[in-house]
Amino acid sequence: MANNENQNQLKIELTPEVAGGHYSNLAVIAHTGNEFFVDFIAVAPNMPQAKVVTRVIMTPENAKNLLFALRDNISKYEANFGEITRKQPKNPGNAGNIPNPFEA
């Protein structure tokens, strides 16, 4: 049985270039009928333009799997380190617009 388990394991390679990662403090999500697009963006204060550092494209099923995986990991994180609090925007009438991650 152990031999069968080894055959079903997925080997994942993490290259040094990818292992360094990209910092992102904003994500923008869009979708079509077949895909979800998640653009991870690095926003800097007092800069007129923000750079997309990574774009991830996934199927709707995989996007939903990501949602559940994030929810599970956030619950585990909060159980260990306490609740993550979200900062409320200064201007609540700005709903629907991209929030400024640097507003306190």
pLDDT (tens, 9 = 90+) of the chain, 104 residues, equals 455 566 789 999 999 999 999 999 999 999 999 999 999 999 998 888 999 999 999 999 999 999 999 999 999 999 999 999 988 755 544 445 555 554 54
Beta carbons within 8 Å of 49's beta carbon, 6+ residues apart: none
DSSP assignment, residue 96? Answer: T
Using alpha carbons, select from 30, 26, 50 the residue that is nearest to residue 40. 26
Nearest to residue 41, comparing CAs of 18, 22, 24, 21? 24
> pTM value?
0.71
